[in-house]
């Protein structure tokens, strides 16, 4: 097992291998290999993986964005912009003063938009982080949960398309708008499972349309490169898990025992290559692998989510994340090993928000090439983790067979670089 952990936890990002550095001039804001937008301080192109030679230092001062983000939501009804609880220091756990510095160790805290958490209940939590290479956080998330574990929760993750303008605003607006609809229009009292699933599907369609409207509403009339983002959302309704997505943010089921699964299906060139028979590793590491075929925004080809549902197959973790995490462990079995290693090393990470924090830290330790968002909901006791060994003498309980059901939409042949 330790050898397996080492092969996953310590591996390099595929795009880092065998690359030749290409000088990047200050006036060149596009990758010389694939043409994707890049910043003068970036060492790699996210579009094709070409290694670049930075000509500027990455900015260290980040101005808070127009839409402030709460670091922690204590209950589903909290206003995300009205939470006044002090932020803890990421270095020592001390209190961050109004001037942005820790009162205890003096470390400067990142802006709340660059690094924030949401903890609406003890079984649901998430973390959103700028990563190490980007000058701002273009990811966003919006969570909600009822207090009773396993009752009802909504997890939304959006990833701003870096090649579009103001994508950090688009992702935040979309995540909050989608969450609002999914919470407000939660269908109740459905006696027939099929009716419940159909009602939830209708709600997801409305939520994604509303999210797209929110992105469009924030688009300048004169924009020639409209803000855009991906979106992945999951809703827990008792033992039923439903999800929808557009783009390449993902939904996973990480099982305590049994198979872990990637539930969502990407709208991406990499997914098209895999559908044509290419291996996952080759498809996700080749040129143009980060090109997406669907997104939210003014120029979106369509905003109908790919929708799926799953009857919970046992205890485990529902994970919604951006590609800043899965870039380094895409296959569910690889992610399962990462989860297990973190939880073995740090038992306190059984708390969803702390586990999300440690997954973000792990992704940053692999290179942090992208913004990273991790949202989690726990099913079962808060003491389980994917791949855990059974206690001595314990007999596994076989869950009822449950296969994810996914409804897809036609693939558009246009693409954008995420």
In this prediction the pTM is: 0.74
pLDDT tens-digit series, residues 348-385: 778 899 999 999 999 999 999 999 999 999 999 876 55
User: Lowest mean pLDDT: which of 2-11, 45-54, 182-191?
Assistant: 2-11
Residue 163 CA: distances (Å) to CA of 118, 168, 221, 246 = 27, 11, 18, 17
CB 260 within 8 Å of CB 319:
no
pLDDT tens-digit series, residues 301-352: 899 999 999 999 899 999 999 999 999 999 999 999 999 999 888 877 788 9
Edge to edge, the sheet with strand 250-255 lists 115-121, 124-129, 372-379, 316-321, 250-255, 261-262
- Going by pLDDT thresholds of 50, 70 and 90, the confidence category of residue 16 is very low
Q: What is the CA radius of gyration of the chain?
A: 20
Look at the alpha carbons of 286, 288, 293, 294 in this order and tell me if their dihedral is positive or negative: positive
Q: Give me the residue spans of the domains in the chain.
A: 112-390+403-412
CB 324 within 8 Å of CB 342:
no
Strand partners, 65: none
Residue in the block written with tokens 């297990």: 340
Residues 6 or more apart whose CB falls under 8 angstroms from that of 6 comprise none
Q: Which CATH number fits domain 112-390+403-412: 1.10.10.10, 2.170.260.10, 3.60.40.10, 3.40.50.720?
A: 3.60.40.10
CB-based burial label for 135 (10 Å; 0-12, 13-18, 19+): middle
């Amino acid at each position: 097992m330790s050898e397996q952990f080492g092969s996953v936890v310590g591996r390099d990002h595929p795009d880092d291998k065998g690359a030749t550095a290409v000088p990047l001039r200050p006036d060149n804001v596009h990758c010389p290999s694939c043409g994707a937008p890049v910043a003068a301080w970036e060492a790699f192109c996210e579009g094709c993986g070409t290694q670049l030679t930075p000509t500027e230092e990455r900015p260290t001062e980040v101005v808070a964005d127009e839409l402030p983000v709460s670091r922690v939501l204590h209950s589903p009804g909290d206003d995300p912009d009205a939470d006044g609880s002090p932020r803890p220091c990421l270095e020592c756990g001390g209190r961050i003063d109004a001037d942005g510095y820790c009162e205890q160790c003096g470390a400067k805290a990142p802006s709340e938009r660059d690094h924030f958490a949401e903890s609406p209940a003890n079984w649901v939590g998430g973390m959103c982080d700028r990563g190490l290479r980007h000058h701002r956080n273009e990811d966003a998330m919006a969570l909600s949960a009822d207090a009773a574990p396993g009752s009802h929760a909504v997890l939304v993750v959006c990833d701003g398309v870096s090649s579009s303008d103001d994508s950090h605003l688009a992702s935040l607006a979309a995540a909050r708008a989608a969450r609002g609809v999914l919470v407000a229009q939660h269908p109740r009292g459905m006696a027939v499972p099929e009716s419940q699933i159909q009602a939830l599907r209708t709600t997801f369609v409305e939520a994604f349309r509303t999210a797209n409207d929110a992105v469009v509403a924030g688009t300048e009339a004169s924009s020639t490169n409209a803000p855009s983002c991906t979106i992945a959302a999951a809703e827990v309704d008792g033992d039923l898990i439903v999800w929808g997505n557009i783009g390449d943010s993902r939904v996973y089921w990480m099982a305590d025992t049994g198979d872990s699964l990637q539930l969502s299906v990407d709208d991406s060139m990499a997914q098209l290559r895999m559908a044509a028979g290419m291996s996952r590793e080759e498809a996700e590491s080749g040129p143009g692998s980060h090109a997406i075929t669907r997104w939210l925004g003014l120029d979106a080809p369509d905003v109908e989510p790919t929708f799926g549902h799953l009857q919970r197959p046992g205890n485990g973790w529902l994970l919604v994340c951006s590609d800043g995490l899965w870039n380094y462990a895409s296959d569910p079995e690889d992610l399962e090993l990462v989860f297990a290693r973190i939880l073995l090393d740090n038992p306190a990470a059984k708390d969803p928000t702390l586990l999300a924090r440690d997954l973000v830290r792990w992704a940053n330790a692999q290179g942090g090439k992208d913004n990273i968002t991790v949202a989690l909901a726990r099913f079962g006791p808060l003491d389980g983790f994917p791949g855990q060994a059974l206690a001595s003498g314990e007999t596994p309980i076989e869950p009822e067979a449950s296969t994810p059901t996914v409804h897809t939409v036609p693939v558009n042949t246009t693409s954008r670089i995420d």
